Structure 1
Amino acid sequence: MSFSTETRGRENTQDYRLYFKNEEGKYISPFHDIPIYADETEHIFHAVIEVPRWTNAKMEIATKDALNPLKQDVKKGNLRYVRNIFPHKGYIWNYGAIPQTWEDPGHRDEDTNCCGDNDPIDICDIGHKVCCRGEIIGVKVLGALALIDEGETDWKVMVINVEDPEAKDFHDIDDVRRLKPGYLEATLDWFRMYKVPDGKPENQFAFHGEFKNRDFAIKTVEDTHSFWKSLISKKSDAGEISSLNTCVTESPFLCSSADAKAIVDSAHPCGDAEPVPGSVDKWFYYKQP
């Protein structure tokens, strides 16, 4: 199974969109139409890479847009870039999401006592390859961190690309601790601090910042898949989320290929990228209290 992407708008502007196609050339939603599993029997999941490692633009699956293309997040009218907090440069993993998952804002997690954040579940790929924006990879789940973001559960699932030459050596979260010493500690610090330069307090975590193991993480991913099934079948309130799709045949939100093409054709035409603001390269230094 292969996928490709198609750009609309101008990069580094609010009209930029990255749309997805399947191997038949049909426009699809990366949220709804890419299967959750690359290999269900081996618990290998698909992951959509939103942000390549060491980049700063906060790209995300646009859950409220028809066909859910990738776009850059906007806050207070401005494009969002994560800050560089010494010694980190941008995101410290390939960051993305597992398709066909949904952290239901109407479901209170019995472990975190907080509801979901209304997005697909996030992944942090620790493989050596720097992926491309919009790349679809197969991943092994290794563990999970429960970030509490403004009162919402925002799971961060630690994974490794199955194509990584070292993937065979990673089976659980303890393998990350043993084979990549310091990476989990850096991950915890990154999520704790990344909003501080913007004047916000440190983020908090469930389980006192403990990384949960592989089995716990896989169950968490599969639970969010069941929430997605309710979303795509209209059994849960979607709110402003667009559940439009071209491949989920049992979904009431299924649309034709022609309708999907019309959506993409109506997007802004491609153009030259705008320059990235110079402030994105600024370094911030933070001493934890």
Structure 2
Amino acid sequence: MEDDGVVTVYNNSAITDTKKKNQFSIKVQLAQMLRGGTIVEVVNTEQAKIAQGAGACAIVVSESNQSGISRMPDPLVIKEIKRVVSIPVMAKARVGHFVEAQILEAIGVDYIDESEVLALSDDQNYINKHNFRVPFVAGCQGLGDALSRVREGAALIRIQGDVSGNGDIVETVRNVRSVMGNIRVLTNMDDDEVFAFAKKISAPYDLVAQTKQLGRLPVVQFAAGGIATPADAALVMQLGCDGVFLGSEIFTGPDSGKRVRAIIRAVMHYNDPHVLAETSCGVLDSFARLNLNEDEGEQSGNGGTY
């Protein structure tokens, strides 16, 4: 059943809590366990092992074949990956496809990503995430989108940028700045202006008011799309994100483990220029391969990536 209110817990203090044992509160706390980390997209057990060895806080499983209609990954692949790693495992479901979500929950994934990067199954409705025990991740491009997804039950927000896998971070930065900029505007508003602002961004008033009180989204917020270097990862962290998603294109070419480790370390030390300089040494040439040409981008199919 959908919770009567949203519970946010930061630094062990609850902002609101309408039920003593609020299911959504538990999901939010599970998502906060990923805060400050890097979630790496993988397509097979080998990549999953590399991501875990590099220090990823979680992995997200996606389809290996991106041609044609992109759907949830094969449950058999997810089970194989779960057997070889000990970190949390996410899997993608199509927007609105609650049956894919039911299947993913049944096979024991730790989080479900309702991913607009996949082909849509429902262009009008999102999954009612309150119907599930497992925490959900959902994407947004602006503050109104983010709070709408939280109202539906998302416990982690993915601020989404480029989905082509071309290593272009400009859209991600634009969307992160948009979300953070609107939060700053909201924080400085008079209380009687919040109603109009909530209507303007098409977001639930109570969540807008809670965001004003917190000075941030009421759930953890990660950035995704175009993050290809340690500097990219540190940039979105310094802009206010709680972590990053890395697309599976990070495994392109040799030394993929080194690249993943470099970005994960950059996320952990995003405010230390000396560590960032160290993590960038000797890896930028290999990162350049992630700037795919137009033909390669077209070959990636409809599925896209983080």
TM-score grouping bracket, smaller chain normalisation: under 0.3
Q: TM-score scaled to structure 1, two decimals?
A: 0.26
Structure ranking higher in strand proportion: 1
